[in-house]
Amino acid sequence: MRKLLMTVLTGSILIFGTTTFALTLDEATTNIDKQATEKKLDAKDHSQATATLQGLVAKGVPVEHAVRVVEASINQGMKGKDLADVAGSIETAGGARKEAAAIAAEAIEHKYSARETVQMTNTFGKTVAAGAPADKTAQVMSSGINKGVQAGKITAATNAYAGEIRSGTAPDKAAENATRTMDRDRTMRHDRDMTHDRDHMGSGSGMDHGMDHGPGMGSGAGPGMGGPR
């Protein structure tokens, strides 16, 4: 009996311990209100932040995912209207709203604009609705976001990934191909940037060189060559 009692008590502690650390909607709302006040949001943006949090949760997004989206938007100075647009794109993801919220939050945290975030979240929702696995789709997009790939390149790679799945390619392989494509595009962009920087530095060096020696050459050679004969 004593052993059984200890087992029951231990289980109760674990259960209540888990509940204690779960974030409730009221707690999340309080946190958002505090953050909005600290960031000196105007009344309209503050109200939209709270409404977005509560609206996402009402649509089935877990509290911890919803609050992450709103917190990220406040930290990045996103306006209430833009946040509402982001929330709307998350809601279109249907049963994959949790993953869509994670993608949106990650994009905002990595300083993608509201328009770019909506673009990627909408693409996520359409891809999943077409039959692609939500977890693999999120993996593809998250990889691009964390590597700083342009939003357009991420959506293009995600669309290609969806197309491969429709053609019969296994999701794992399609995700691998999409990630490789984004890595290649990112490498090419980096190489172009490096070439541009080198060309710019070379041009600047030449101009400096000319400026250093131009006056001496002009004053010494000008009168003799161009003066009266």
DSSP 59-104: TT--HHHHHHHHHHHHHTT--HHHHHHHHHHHHTTGGGHHHHHHHH
Instruction: Mention every residue, 6+ apart, whose C-beta is less than 8 A from residue 133.
Output: 171
> Does residue 210 form part of some domain?
no
pLDDT score for 209: 43
**Tally of domains in the chain:** 1
How far is CA 141 from each of CA 68, 95, 150, 218, rounded to the nearest angstrom? 17, 18, 11, 59
Report which of 123, 104, 105 is spatially closest to residue 178, judged by C-alpha positions: 123
pLDDT score for 154: 97
pLDDT score for 184: 87
Q: Can you tell me whether residue 32 is helix, strand or coil? A: helix
pLDDT score for 196: 47
CA–centroid distance for 121 within its chain: 10
pLDDT score for 219: 43
Average pLDDT, the chain: 82
pLDDT score for 180: 94
> Does residue 189 form part of some domain?
yes
Low-confidence ranges of the chain (pLDDT < 70): 1-21, 187-229
> Does residue 200 form part of some domain?
no
The CA-CA-CA angle for residues 167, 169, 172, to 5°, reads 145
d(CA 114, CA 118): 6
Domain limits at 135?
26-194
> Does residue 218 form part of some domain?
no
> Does residue 93 form part of some domain?
yes
pLDDT score for 186: 72
d(CA 61, CA 52): 11
The CA-CA-CA angle for residues 220, 221, 227, to 5°, reads 110
d(CA 41, CA 44): 8
> Does residue 5 form part of some domain?
no
> Does residue 132 form part of some domain?
yes
Instruction: Mention every residue, 6+ apart, whose C-beta is less than 8 A from residue 145.
Output: 103, 106, 107, 110, 112, 120, 154
> Does residue 20 form part of some domain?
no
8 Å CB contact between 135 and 99: yes
